[in-house]
Structure 1
């Protein structure tokens, strides 16, 4: 039986080449049982004409499926579904089961209902996208990243790609972190002091699990990164939120019974405040006095384009009490999900053992691709390009904010990629965000960043990491209009 050409159609939203889409259409049809063994496919010419594409594209797709034994060729008769093609599962013996489990009792720990920020998956389609932390394709060096990914797929890196690292990490990536990333922050470390993680959030989770118990107390900034608060709530430790000011976390407010202090000194999340040198020293002294540990989340230190970045807490630490969290997810692209922990060898040993129980190790190909991208100088070029572009966007946004009468809640003096804003008293920025979506404007309400039941609703965050400079003034004007309308 011949398969009708009318069963083929192209998806305009498919992420990939035409060749890969045709391969996927046929493979999925075989795996689902729609195309059966021995059935004849349309000729390459007929299918190409039907889809309005090049015949060579169809031929290449058929050839790839032939090599994978999904198809077979019979001389001049054409292409057929191979007798060796995977057979679809038989569902005749399966029946719909009734779920009689009482999941309200069966679930021992709940992880839903937290403070995670919600961002539309199709954020890039919005005209005025002020969402934080997303990559801009006009800035990212896709060509060199692709070349590094191909290089990491080469025969020379076969074992880096395919091996089970057990508890270990990619040596090239660790070497770059030791020789370049950490030295720029004034940190000297050995390989035994570094652990690769799946981003900063994974690093914070590992740290909380290793250091905190139900009897220990963690200090967090208020407002803070919402996921950190959720992580700490799952550890069941005592959490003490401390309000931040224009200089970040005030050391003199830290209670004496604190065990672990979480802070973002380079760019406080989300206010963007940078902790001055005197306060950094005071924070270290306070931690020393009460024998507490400090977890320094040093995200976005690369984006200090207004002034040189301040020394990291870890570089000032003489007691080994600071655990440093770094990440490439903000500086390269968020989907990379690569970060690292730096700390005393005893701590890293435990964090490494815990990581191996949960995810073994980050993917080898991802680590080696990142190592090439960093080591070949592409990363530094990307950072320079990003800083220059962010500086332009910041100037345009700051001018637009002033022109349209909006209020900046915290003035960052080093750079970053966002503004922390304050709407008029009584404004519900969650309702404002919902209203602005209708005008193709995306903002981030500030309520999830705060701790407690009565959280402020008038704050919001505006990022300029992925919005075109020419669209910033018009987007700010729409926000100002929505605020006036109430």
Structure 2
């Protein structure tokens, strides 16, 4: 029985080449049981006409499916579903399910935050004309060609073991070596390979640190601060004390007695961009020593110091091994990479490695080796310079537009980065304002989720500029200013 040509549809939003998408449609039809062995497919000419593609594209897709034994060719009769094609399992008639589980009572622990730390960012954010959002990659800046070449090199026979073997709790030695010899020394951090652990991004590194160090203990965090960190700490049962941040960051004197772990972003505070001065860094280490406490340093975006040279990491001043250092390539490369690293004393790293192995073994070997090549061949440094130049241009456009339209910057502008921490007039609900701005194709991030506690200020917001072209910044800021005009900014 021939398969009707009307059965075939291509989603214009689906990724991949036309040939790959046609292969996928046919394969899915076979794997789902809709297309059965022996059934004839439409001719390449007819399917090409129906889909609006070239005949050679359909022919190549059929040929590839035949090579993989999904299809078979019968002389001049055309293509048929192969008798050897993968078949879906037959489990008989599906029983009707009626879920009677009370999941509110069944869950031993709740992992979902009341306020999502992604600030309810729409999944189609790239379709907005003025996306002032933080932490997304700019396709126009990323070196896709060289990343692809490095990925292909990592697929070669020479790197077969790194790609295919279960390293259990090991890391790619090429990547670790580059971190130890090049990346970390730039931050003033000098360690040995047994003091480094590769993680699935900074989030995974913070989770490992929280699980090993903070469970059931007194912990100090910055307020405002990284919302996802508070969620991680809540899951460990730690006793969290939020500490206010001023123009110079966290005040060491405010850390209460009995604190066991201090989580901080001294080189680029989240979200205000405040930089902890040298005197405060030394005071923070002295306070940690007096409390016999540890410090977890989240050192993100240090490569994006477009205005001033980056200050050395807090870890570089640590002479007692108290600082656990968290780094990531997610901001400088792309967030979907999910590749970061944890640096600390060897006994701590051994425990972190064991905990990581019990959850995810290790980050994929191919990703680690691809990143190692991208770093070693100089592509990463070239990319950082290109991104830094673009961010400096956008930063200047942001500063000019903010001043022209009378908006108020609440955070510091001293070291660059890729966002501004802003302050609206008192009484403004920036959460409600953000929803109104979406209708005007403008995205901002409300500031309330950055604060701890039930009663938080709602007139702060964050403007990222890593994903918006400089030419659109002024008009986007103008639309935000219009939304803040008297009569428009209320909750």
Length-normalised TM-score, structure 2: 0.97
Displacement of 1:91: 5.4
Answering whether residue 161 of structure 2 is matched by residue 151 of structure 1, we say: no
CA distance in structure 2 between the aligned counterparts of 1:52 and 1:129, rounded to whole angstroms: 34
Displacement of 1:350: 0.4
Secondary structure of the residue aligned to 2:267 is coil
Answering whether residue 23 of structure 2 is matched by residue 23 of structure 1, we say: yes
Secondary structure of the residue aligned to 1:288 is helix
Displacement of 1:101: 1.7
Unaligned runs of 5+ in 2: none
1:56-455 aligned at under 5 Å gives the runs 56-90=56-90, 92-115=92-115, 116-117=117-118, 118-214=120-216, 216-455=217-456
Which one is further off, 249-258 or 320-329?
A: 249-258
Displacement of 1:113: 3.1
CA distance in structure 2 between the aligned counterparts of 1:462 and 1:255, rounded to whole angstroms: 32
Alignment match, 1:460? 461
CA distance in structure 1 between the aligned counterparts of 2:157 and 2:468, rounded to whole angstroms: 40
Which one is further off, 453-462 or 251-260?
A: 251-260
* C-alpha contact 1:293 1:322 (8 A) present in aligned 2: yes
Secondary structure of the residue aligned to 1:320 is coil
Which one is further off, 106-115 or 204-213?
A: 106-115
CA distance in structure 2 between the aligned counterparts of 1:72 and 1:369, rounded to whole angstroms: 37
CA distance in structure 2 between the aligned counterparts of 1:307 and 1:104, rounded to whole angstroms: 50
CA distance in structure 2 between the aligned counterparts of 1:102 and 1:275, rounded to whole angstroms: 48
Displacement of 1:66: 1.0
CA distance in structure 2 between the aligned counterparts of 1:351 and 1:63, rounded to whole angstroms: 48
Alignment match, 2:484? 483
CA distance in structure 1 between the aligned counterparts of 2:215 and 2:34, rounded to whole angstroms: 54
* C-alpha contact 1:248 1:274 (8 A) present in aligned 2: yes
CA distance in structure 2 between the aligned counterparts of 1:312 and 1:111, rounded to whole angstroms: 32
Write the deviation string for residues 46-68 of structure 1: whole angstroms up to 9, x where unpaired: 22232222222112211211121
* C-alpha contact 1:299 1:330 (8 A) present in aligned 2: yes
CA distance in structure 2 between the aligned counterparts of 1:251 and 1:420, rounded to whole angstroms: 22
Secondary structure of the residue aligned to 1:296 is strand
CA distance in structure 1 between the aligned counterparts of 2:266 and 2:43, rounded to whole angstroms: 64
* C-alpha contact 1:274 1:412 (8 A) present in aligned 2: no
Unaligned runs of 5+ in 1: none
Alignment match, 1:42? 42
CA distance in structure 2 between the aligned counterparts of 1:368 and 1:54, rounded to whole angstroms: 38
CA distance in structure 2 between the aligned counterparts of 1:40 and 1:357, rounded to whole angstroms: 48
Displacement of 1:230: 0.4
CA distance in structure 1 between the aligned counterparts of 2:114 and 2:380, rounded to whole angstroms: 34
Displacement of 1:90: 3.1
Write the deviation string for residues 382-418 of structure 1: whole angstroms up to 9, x where unpaired: 0000000000000001110011110000122111000
Secondary structure of the residue aligned to 2:366 is helix
Alignment match, 2:55? 55
Secondary structure of the residue aligned to 2:170 is coil
Secondary structure of the residue aligned to 1:410 is coil
CA distance in structure 2 between the aligned counterparts of 1:412 and 1:210, rounded to whole angstroms: 35
Write the deviation string for residues 77-133 of structure 1: whole angstroms up to 9, x where unpaired: 211100011223335422112111222221110112344222111110000000100
Displacement of 1:73: 1.2
Write the deviation string for residues 191-229 of structure 1: whole angstroms up to 9, x where unpaired: 100000010011000001011231x21110000000000
CA distance in structure 1 between the aligned counterparts of 2:57 and 2:157, rounded to whole angstroms: 28
* C-alpha contact 2:113 2:231 (8 A) present in aligned 1: no
Name the Cα RMSD after superposition.
Answer: 1.0
Displacement of 1:154: 1.5
Alignment match, 2:13? 13
Length-normalised TM-score, structure 1: 0.98
Secondary structure of the residue aligned to 1:325 is strand
* Structure 1 residues 114 and 180: alpha-carbon distance in aligned structure 2, compared to 1, 3 A threshold: farther
Secondary structure of the residue aligned to 1:430 is helix
CA distance in structure 2 between the aligned counterparts of 1:113 and 1:201, rounded to whole angstroms: 15
CA distance in structure 2 between the aligned counterparts of 1:119 and 1:360, rounded to whole angstroms: 31
Matched length: 485
Secondary structure of the residue aligned to 1:98 is coil
* C-alpha contact 1:421 1:462 (8 A) present in aligned 2: yes
CA distance in structure 2 between the aligned counterparts of 1:21 and 1:147, rounded to whole angstroms: 23
* C-alpha contact 1:404 1:477 (8 A) present in aligned 2: yes
CA distance in structure 1 between the aligned counterparts of 2:299 and 2:102, rounded to whole angstroms: 43
Write the deviation string for residues 273-313 of structure 1: whole angstroms up to 9, x where unpaired: 11111111111111112111110000000011211111111
Displacement of 1:375: 1.1
